[in-house]
């Protein structure tokens, strides 16, 4: 087994039309949470070019997932990674983006055609806490669960303080 620093080939480019064209994959051979976004048709070729099937040593590091999503940038027509807080979700756009698992799209009130923001889900049966220490878990008014009327286990959304 060799212990060599990871060297990554250039990220393959391919034009995308919608988010489904893009995937999030590891940038290198080791599962370190260093992701890139590539066109789904180029992912296998990129991973093969890494030479990950050769024996190598990976550092034992626990990667923290930033929940970034592979999206198609409508203006550049390129796949890119976008963190949940930067995702413009839903709305009436040519390529409406979705939120990652564990997040919910909160649309602007009284404006139906603008995209919303992805907010982390919290509370509920699992007692999920907000990952952002500066956020507060508040009731999600769109889920039909009322914490003041029998809904002690209602889920919420993390909002900035």
- pLDDT tens for 26-73 read 998 888 888 999 999 999 999 989 888 877 788 888 778 899 999 999
Taking the C-alpha atoms of residue 43 and residue 127, their distance in angstroms, rounded to an integer, is 36
pLDDT of residue 122: 93
Q: What are 121-146's pLDDT values in tens digits?
A: 998 888 899 999 899 999 888 888 87
Taking the C-alpha atoms of residue 150 and residue 161, their distance in angstroms, rounded to an integer, is 27
pLDDT of residue 53: 80
Query: Which position has the higher pLDDT, 56 or 101?
Result: 101
Q: 0.85 exceeded by the pTM?
A: no
């Amino acid at each position: 087994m060799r212990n060599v620093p990871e060297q990554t080939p250039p990220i393959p480019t391919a034009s995308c039309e919608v988010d489904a064209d893009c995937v999030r994959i590891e940038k290198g051979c080791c599962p370190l949470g260093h992701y890139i976004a590539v066109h789904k048709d180029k992912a296998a070729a990129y991973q093969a070019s890494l030479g990950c099937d050769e024996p190598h040593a990976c550092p034992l590091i626990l990667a923290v997932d930033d929940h970034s999503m592979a999206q198609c940038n409508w203006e550049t027509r390129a796949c890119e990674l976008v963190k949940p807080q930067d995702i413009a979700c839903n709305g009436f756009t040519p390529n409406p983006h979705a939120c990652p698992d564990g997040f919910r799209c909160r649309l602007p009130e009284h404006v139906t055609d603008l995209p919303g923001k992805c907010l982390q889900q919290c509370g509920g049966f699992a007692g999920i806490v907000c990952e952002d220490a500066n956020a507060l878990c508040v009731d999600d008014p769109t889920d039909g669960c009322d914490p003041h009327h029998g809904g002690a286990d209602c889920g919420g959304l993390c909002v900035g303080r």
